[in-house]
């Protein structure tokens, strides 16, 4: 039987429409329009595309947004000053500094300068700590989106063995922490795999739900999977493709065709996890605005 394709688009659209309603209600009840402030340093084309999409999503959902574009040689002090200005600005409820930053700017110092109540990327140590101990917090967008994809596609992780490949601070660690909480939509047994172990094939084979956040194109194939497992492919890897007009295409960390023959459900790349991040950013901005206006 063919695997269920877990499409990101309908889930992301559903979340955005819930956020749109939430925004309208907050304006009605409290006169507060959620606002997002985005800082972009430099002219990396991919970052510019992300930042433009964030601004468009805000407009579409009735939110206020401001984008400050700075040249690549801007100092850390200038970035920190903008963060401080938005920390104190009642029209801005969420602050996002587009990563990566140029090398001369200390990313961690910038993250820690953001008021944790406005940290809509969920990277501030206060939010990371609150996530780990199961307190309410702003959660990183891509991992939060993965949980929504699982739950809303009918693949509740409760009681399942989830194997996460990758331990980055933006995907691997937070998704593991989200899914192991004793909470609705979580309560999984979680294993995190990384390069510290030479051969992780026996771990992959045990996964009821496999979350691949490896950054290696199509490195996980169907033959490695437990039959009937659910596969969430976080990877976005650009590979050369002379048959494409652009000369390249994006693939995941999982070899889709072979995995779809073994798995019961799988996210495509593109079209899966990648579409969730902005929807979750919008949800976080609404959540921050609600809390700040209490
Ligand atoms: P990262 O920081 O490079 O982390 C990759 C992780 O995979 C590391 O923990 C690494 O282990 C582990 N790893 C690499 N090769 C391995 C192997 N052979 N066996 C076991 N573990 C291995 O990457 P990331 O930022 O988490 O991103 C992962 C992927 O997701 C990338 O393709 C990225 O583009 C994509 N991504 C997508 C979204 C989205 O959809 N919106 C968002 C973020 C990232 P070590 O720690 O031991 O080195």
Distance from the alpha carbon of residue 164 to the mean position of ligand 1, in angstroms: 10
Q: How many CB atoms lie within 10 A of CB 49?
A: 10
The rounded distance, in Å, linking the Cα atoms of 275 and 197 is 31
Largest pairwise CA distance in the chain: 57
77 membership: H or E segment, kind and range = helix 76-87
Tell me the percentage of the chain whose pLDDT exceeds 70: 100
Q: How far is the CA of 236 from the centre of ligand 1 (A)?
A: 10
Model pLDDT, residue 1: 64
Distance 213 CA to ligand 1 centre (A): 4
Helix, strand, or coil (residue 238): strand
Q: What burial letters (b/e) apply to 184-205, b meaning 16+ CB within 10 Å?
A: ebbebebbbbeeeeeebeebbe
Indicate which atom in ligand 1 lies nearest the CA of residue 215.
Answer: 32
Q: Which helix (H) or strand (E) holds 52?
A: helix 45-60
The finding on whether 274 has its CB within 6 A of some atom of ligand 1 is yes
Which pair of tokens denotes residue 146?
A: 């993965």
Q: Which residue has the tokens 């999503």?
A: 57
Nearest to 273 by CA among 235, 224, 245, 219: 235
User: Does 83 score more than 90 pLDDT?
Assistant: yes
CA dist., res. 130 & res. 138, Å (int)? 9
Q: Is 108 a catalytic residue?
A: no
Which mutation among 168, 176, 274 tests ligand 1's pocket best, with the greatest number of atoms within 8 A of CB? 168
Confirm or reject: Cβ of 272 under 6 Å from ligand 1: no
Cβ 38 under 6 angstroms from ligand 1? no
pLDDT in tens, 222-273: 999 999 999 999 999 999 999 999 999 999 999 999 999 999 999 999 999 9
Q: What is the pTM of this model?
A: 0.98
Asked whether 83 and 113 are in contact (CB, 8 A), the reply is yes
Give yes or no for a contact between 278 and 57, defined as CB atoms under 8 angstroms apart: yes
Mean predicted lDDT score pLDDT of the chain: 98
Residue 94's SS3 state is strand
Active-site residue identified among 121, 208, 233, 253? 121
Q: What is the pLDDT of residues 49-75, one digit of tens each?
A: 999 999 999 999 999 999 999 999 999
Per-residue pLDDT, 143: 98
- Residues with Cβ within 8 Å of residue 202, at least 6 apart in sequence: none
> Which of 16, 54, 118, 173 is flagged as catalytic?
54
Q: Is 9 a residue of the active site?
A: no
Q: How far apart are CA 64 and CA 48, in angstroms?
A: 19
Q: Whose CA is nearest to atom 39 of ligand 1?
A: 274
* Measured distance CA(236)–CA(183) in Å, rounded: 29
Query: Is 54 an annotated catalytic residue?
Result: yes
Confidence at residue 2, expressed as pLDDT on a 0 to 100 scale: 86
In 75-234, the DSSP E strands lie at 94-97, 161-165, 189-193, 209-212, 230-233
Instruction: Write the Ramachandran bin of 263: left for phi over 0, alpha for psi from -120 to 50, otherwise beta.
Output: beta
Bridge pairing between strands 189-193 and 209-212: unpaired
Name the one residue in this structure whose structure tokens are 């079209």. Answer: 271
pLDDT tens per residue, range 171-185 = 999 999 999 999 999
Mean pLDDT of the region 156-175: 98
Q: All domains of the chain, ordered by start, with CATH?
A: 33-115 (3.40.50.10860), 141-276 (3.40.50.720)
Say if ligand 1 is within 6 A of residue 35 CB: no
Give the count of beta carbons closer than 10 Å to the beta carbon of residue 164. Answer: 32
Looking at the CA of residue 277, tell me the nearest atom of ligand 1.
41
């Amino acid at each position: 039987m063919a695997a269920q394709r877990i499409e990101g688009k309908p889930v992301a659209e559903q979340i955005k429409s819930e956020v749109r309603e939430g925004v309208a209600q907050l304006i009605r009840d409290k006169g507060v329009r959620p606002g997002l402030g985005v800082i972009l340093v430099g002219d990396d084309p991919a970052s510019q595309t992300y930042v433009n999409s964030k601004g468009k999503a805000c407009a579409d959902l009735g939110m206020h947004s401001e984008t400050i574009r700075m040249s690549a040689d801007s100092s850390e002090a200038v970035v920190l000053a903008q963060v401080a200005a938005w920390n104190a600005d009642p029209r801005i409820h969420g602050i996002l500094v587009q990563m990566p930053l140029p090398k001369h700017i200390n990313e961690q110092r910038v993250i820690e300068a953001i008021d944790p109540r406005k940290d809509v990327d969920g990277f501030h140590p206060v939010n990371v700590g609150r996530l780990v101990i199961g307190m309410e917090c702003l959660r990183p967008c891509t991992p939060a989106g993965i949980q929504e994809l699982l739950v809303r596609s009918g693949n509740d992780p409760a009681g399942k063995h989830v194997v996460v490949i990758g331990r980055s601070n933006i995907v691997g660690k937070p998704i593991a922490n989200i899914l192991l909480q004793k909470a609705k939509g979580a309560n999984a047994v979680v294993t995190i795999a990384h390069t510290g172990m030479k051969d992780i094939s026996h771990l992959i084979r045990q996964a009821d739900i496999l979350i691949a956040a490896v950054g290696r194109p199509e490195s996980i194939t169907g033959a490695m999977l437990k039959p009937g497992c659910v596969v969430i492919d976080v990877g976005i890897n650009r590979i050369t493709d002379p048959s494409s007009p652009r000369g390249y295409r994006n693939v995941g960390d999982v070899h889709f065709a072979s995995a779809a023959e073994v798995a019961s459900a799988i996210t495509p790349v593109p079209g899966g996890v990648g579409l969730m991040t902005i929807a979750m950013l919008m949800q976080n901005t609404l959540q921050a605005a609600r809390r700040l206006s209490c």
